[in-house]
Chains A and B, each alone.
Chain A
Amino acid sequence: MVEPELIRKAQAGDRDALIALLREIENHVYRTAFYILGNEHDAMDAAQEALIRIYTKIDSYEEKALFKTWVQRIVTNICIDKFRRQKPMVSIEEHDMWFETEQNVEQEVLSAFTAKDIREAINKLPAHHRAVVVLRYLQDFSYKEIAESLGLPLNTVKSYLFRARSRLQTLLQEYEKGGVKG
């Protein structure tokens, strides 16, 4: 939660406040980018672009929206654009990237599936479905906050989230049955 006072100072032209604000949100911005784009490299690119955009557009933020949804709107827009552009040439490189990031990322969690299994399943979702799942689970957003971030109607958000979860459930179930999982 970014302090409203810090936002106001940043908007008033206090550069130190604006930099401090960017430092507070950089992890959140990166996390969204990482789970939508599926690899560290693209996530860093997108997060840099998002923070630069926030730096230059801080004036355009209006308090009627939540700051966190304004930030997530910027980063998800950039990610969805990137996602569309990179789509034709995903496969091999991205696959390698998974193993590379795996060691940093995976945690010991008692869970039915590994984080890697789940992320691979998320990567099979359409961009908007990914974005909804990421905002719901990595940013802990409500339906309303997701709707505000993505500029989608509330019912569309629910429908995307429900379909995405059903699809993930199916993918993971197939995966489990296929016995690939160690």
Chain B
Amino acid sequence: MNCQEVIELMHRDLDKDLNSEESERLHEHVQSCSDCAAMHERLKRLSNDLVQLPKVEPPYSIVDSIMPELDRIDQQRQQASQPARSPFERLRRSVSFRMMGGIAASVAFIILVASGSLWGFGQSAPEHAQLASNSSADASSGPEMAPMTTFSGGNEMLNKRALPSESIEGQNQSGYNQYSGDAPSDEKESAGFHVMMDTAGFADQSYPSPDGKYTAFVAKNEHGRFQVEIVDDEGNAVFVSAQMDVDAVVDVQWDEALPQLVYTVYSGEESAQFVIDLADAAADR
């Protein structure tokens, strides 16, 4: 057994890792080798010194010092877990928001919360579900619209007209909400967004209502613009919003009890909230 091997035994001895046979070999060698004996003594002394290093303690309570940070983390978590704890399905997307002269028609009524004068919407509570289209020409000619078509895909839907089974005749003048202000400028669209959307991932996300009868989603149309859409459980489109460009945030929530979708569009300092009440559409079916 050479001295190098013995030194390993010394180290393991310090860590009480030797069996009795190894321990004996170590002691035999140390007794006949003065260099190793000296080394053994030094290592034991060092190990003893290390054991006795002061058990330092922090100068003040670390937990107390991080309490404000822990509170902040809790608050953030609470906010983040809101959708899970509430029955609301929540969607935040960044979609922009220029209305292309289109018409946003609601199924029942629209409540508007718009900041500033950029947004001017009529308000109404029509008796029946009514359709949305992505062209003002179509929307203003509601009575002549095509019969309801079956929804078969987000993009395809945008090229079709969806109508409830009953006529919406006579409702157009008050039943839809027409954008009447200037579109927010592109310059404004770059600031103050909550969440930026990954446009690559948006298409396959949908947000079913709590009762499972409707599905809301944000779809991208053939012009690369975005629309909030709702289809029923048979795939019929019941609502299509006005078009929005990239760079706004859309926050969508289903109400727990009512067949009602609330979506809010944020762009720059502007925001507008829409309540889409589907109760009448459901009654029609």
Contacts and interface: CB of A to CB of B under 8 A. Distances in A.
A48 B73 CA distance: 14
Interface residues of B, number: 34
Interface in B40-59: 42-43, 45-59
A86 interface: no
A173 interface: yes
Contact of B45 (A23, A34, A104, A112): A112
Interface stretch (B64-72, B82-90, B151-159, B215-223): B64-72
B49 A27 contact: no
Interface of B: 7-8, 11-12, 14-15, 17, 39, 42-43, 45-59, 61-63, 65-66, 69-70, 73-74
Given A44-B65, A137-B47, 16 more contacts: A19-B70, A23-B63, A29-B62, A30-B57, A43-B58, A44-B62, A51-B66, A55-B73, A104-B59, A107-B54, A115-B54, A158-B11, A158-B12, A162-B7, A165-B46, A166-B11
Contact of A31 (B11, B14, B56): B56
A136 B15 contact: yes
A119 B63 contact: no
Q: Is the interface of B mostly helix, strand, loop or mixed?
A: helix
Contacts of A138: 53, 55
A57 B56 CA distance: 26
B55 A165 contact: no
Interface of A: 15, 19, 22-23, 26-27, 29-31, 34-35, 40, 43-44, 47-48, 51-52, 55-56, 104-107, 109, 111-113, 115, 118-119, 133, 136-138, 143, 158, 161-162, 165-166, 168-169, 172-173
A26 B63 contact: yes
A162 B11 contact: yes
B43 A115 contact: no
Nearest to B58: A30
A155 B131 CA distance: 72
